[in-house]
Structure 1
Amino acid sequence: MQLHFSKMHGIGNDFVVLDCRHEAFPLDAAQIRALGDRHTGVGFDQLLSVEPARDRSCAFYYGIWNADGSPSGQCGNGVRCVAAWLHRAGALSLGDTVRLESPSGPVSVRLLNANEVAVDMGEPIFDPARIPFAAEHAADRYRIELDTDVLEIGAVSMGNPHAVVSVGDLTDSALQGLGPRLTVHERFAQGSNAGFVRQLDRGHLQLRVHERGAGWTQACGTGACAAMAVLHRRAEVDDSVQVDLPGGSLRIDWAGPGQPLWMTGPAAFAFEGEWPIPDAAGQTPG
C-alpha cells in the first residue's frame, strides 16, 4: 500500500500530514517510527492526521504522534500546518476563524494568509495536578533535582506538559545533557517538554526546546507559549512577546489569567510524496 503524505514545517519544526478525512488512520506505532526515521523513512518531529471531528462544534480533528510512535496531546506549530493544509485542500478560507479538535481539546485558528496562522491555544494551566507535575500547590518556581544538579523551573501545560528553565546562555554545552534528563524527570508523570529560555527584554525571548518523544527541535510552538506564560506569571514580560527559536520566530500574546493565549506564526509546505507502508515484520511491498 502506498501512503500519500504532505511534508510541512512551522519554522523548522517538521511534520508529515496525512489525509484521514475519508479513511481510518492506517499506521501503528512501529510504522510511525519507520516513517519518522530520517535515514530510512521520510523523517519528522511529529506526524499529523486530519480526520472528521468527534466534537460537533469543531470542523475537523487532528491527531498527533511523535517520531518515536508515542501520541501527543498538542502541537502549536502542527495546528498551524493543519490549518494551512486545510486551506490548500479547499476546506478553510482566508480570514476564517474555525474550531479544530486536538487530542487535548478544541482550539480556534484564524488563517491570516495562505502561510500565516493565528491559534487560540487556550489558557495556560498551572495547577500541578492538571499538568501533571508532582507538587503540593501551584507556584511560580519549583526546585527540581537532576542527579547532582538542581534546577529552578516553571511548570505549565499548554495541552501538553512543559518545564521552563531561565538561562543566561543558550549555547552552554550543559544544556545538551539537561534537556533529555528533564524531559523524563519522575516529577512529570507523563514526561515533559524541556524549554530553556533567555530573556532579552520584556518583549523578546530566545528559546531552545527538547521535546518528549522527538528530542531537540528547530521550533516548538507550545514551548514558546509555555515560556511566555511562565515568565508572564512572574511579571517578567509584557502581554505580547516575540519568541526566537532556532528555526524562526513566533508572536505570543496573553493578557493573563482568564484570557486565552494566542500564538501567531508561519506554516510552509515542503513537498508531497508516496511512502510504501511496511508490514508488521518491517518489510515493504516490493
Structure 2
Amino acid sequence: MIWSFSKMHGAGNDFVVLDGVRQSIDMTPERARALAHRQFGIGADQILLVEAPNHPQADFRYRIFNADGSEVEHCGNGARCFVRFVHEQKLSSRNPLKAEIATGLITLEEADDATVTVNMGQTRFEPEAVAFDSSDLTGTREHDDTLWSLPLANGDTVNLSLVAISNPHAVQIVDDVATAPVAAQGPLIEQHRRFANRVNAGFMQILDSHNINLRVYERGAGETLACGTGACAAVVAGIRRGRLQSPVTVHTRGGDLHIAWDGTQLTMRGPAVTVFSSEINIDRLVTQYRNRTAL
C-alpha cells in the first residue's frame, strides 16, 4: 500500500504528516514506529494523521502518534504543522481552522508571516489532571502554584509544577538548561510510577520575566528540539509561581515559540515548515523494519 506524506517540522520538532481524508490510512503502533524510525524509516518525533472530523463544529480531526507508537492527546508544534499541511495540500482554505483532537476542539490560524497561532484549549493543575498519585505527598505552595517534591530512582529529588494542556506536563526550574540533567532525570520523571499515563518532563531556565530557555523530555519520543505544549506548560507554571509575566518567548534548541496566557486564554505562536513531500510503501517499510530491528 502506497501512502503519500509530508515531512514537516515546527521549531525542529519533526513530523510525518499523512492525509487520511483523501487516502485510506490504517495507522497501527507498529506502522507509526516504522515511519518514525530515524535509521530504517522516514524519521520523526511524531506521526500526524489528518482525518475527517467526528465533531460537527470541527473542520478536521487530527491524531498524534509518538515515535514509540503510542497515541497521545495533543501536540502544539504538530498543531501548527497541521494547519500548514491542510492549506498546502488544498484540503481547505479556511483560516482560522477548528481541529478536533482527543480532548476537544482547538482553533488555529495561519498568518502572512508563515507563523501559526494556536488556541491551546483548557489548562488544569490538579494532580488528577495529569494522572499523578499524590497520596502521602504534601504539596508546597509557591504564589498561585503547588510544587510536588518527587524522589527519583537515581537518588535525586525534584520539585515539580503539574500542568495539563491536554498532554500531562511536569515542569522544574533549573539554573542552566545547557547543563541540566535532562538525559538522566527525563526518563525517570517520564516513567515514574506516580504518573499513571507517563508525563512530559520540562526543564526551564528563567532568563527574565518575559524570556525562558527550555528543554523537554517527551513521552514516547525522548528529548525533542522543541515541544509546543511543553513550552505552554512551562510558561503557565512560571506565571503561576510569580516568576514570569505574559507574553513570554520560549527559546528552544529548535527555535523560538511565543506564548501568551491571561489566566484563561492560552495561545502559542511559532513556525511550521514543510521539508519535502513524497510517497512510501508502508507494507514494505514495516517488513524491513521488522527484519532489521529483530537482529
Q: TM-score range by the shorter chain?
A: over 0.9
Question: For residues 30-73 of structure 1, what are the alpha-carbon distances to aligned partners after superposition, in whole Å with 9 as ceiling and x for unaligned?
Answer: 12111111001100000001100111111000010001111010
CA–CA separation in structure 1 for the residues paired with 2:286 and 2:130: 37
CA–CA separation in structure 2 for the residues paired with 1:115 and 1:49: 22
Residue 12 in structure 1 maps to residue 5 in structure 2: no
The match for 2:106 is: 107
1:127-276 counterparts in 2 under 5 A?
127-135=126-134, 139-147=145-153, 148-172=155-179, 174-256=181-263, 259-276=264-281
CA–CA separation in structure 1 for the residues paired with 2:73 and 2:187: 19
The match for 1:278 is: 283
Q: Is the 8 A contact 1:83 1:92 kept in 2?
A: no
Question: For residues 175-200 of structure 1, what are the alpha-carbon distances to aligned partners after superposition, in whole Å with 9 as ceiling and x for unaligned?
Answer: 32011111111111100011100000
SS of the aligned residue for 2:40 comes to coil
Residue 27 in structure 1 maps to residue 27 in structure 2: yes
**CA displacement at 1:281 relative to structure 2:** 7.5
CA–CA separation in structure 2 for the residues paired with 1:270 and 1:219: 17
Q: Is the 8 A contact 1:140 1:230 kept in 2?
A: no
CA–CA separation in structure 2 for the residues paired with 1:184 and 1:108: 31
CA–CA separation in structure 2 for the residues paired with 1:210 and 1:283: 28
CA–CA separation in structure 2 for the residues paired with 1:252 and 1:283: 41
**CA displacement at 1:91 relative to structure 2:** 3.8
CA RMSD of aligned residues (A): 1.8
**CA displacement at 1:173 relative to structure 2:** 5.7
CA–CA separation in structure 2 for the residues paired with 1:150 and 1:203: 28
Q: Is the 8 A contact 2:57 2:98 kept in 1?
A: yes
Q: Is the 8 A contact 1:154 1:165 kept in 2?
A: yes
SS of the aligned residue for 2:205 comes to strand
- Unaligned ranges ≥5, structure 1: none
**CA displacement at 1:74 relative to structure 2:** 0.3
Change (3 A) 1:281 1:247: closer
- Unaligned ranges ≥5, structure 2: 140-144, 290-295
Change (3 A) 1:149 1:23: same
Percent identical among aligned pairs is 39
SS of the aligned residue for 2:78 comes to helix
CA–CA separation in structure 1 for the residues paired with 2:232 and 2:58: 23
Question: For residues 149-188 of structure 1, what are the alpha-carbon distances to aligned partners after superposition, in whole Å with 9 as ceiling and x for unaligned?
Answer: 1100111111111110100011226332011111111111
TM-score (norm 1): 0.93
SS of the aligned residue for 1:113 comes to coil
Between 112-121 and 263-272, the greater mean CA deviation after superposition: 112-121
The match for 2:72 is: 72
Question: For residues 69-122 of structure 1, what are the alpha-carbon distances to aligned partners after superposition, in whole Å with 9 as ceiling and x for unaligned?
Answer: 11010000000000011111224447x222111122110011113721000001
The total of aligned residue pairs comes to 281
CA–CA separation in structure 1 for the residues paired with 2:63 and 2:176: 35
SS of the aligned residue for 2:160 comes to strand
Q: Is the 8 A contact 1:93 1:111 kept in 2?
A: no
Q: Is the 8 A contact 1:72 1:160 kept in 2?
A: yes
The match for 1:119 is: 118
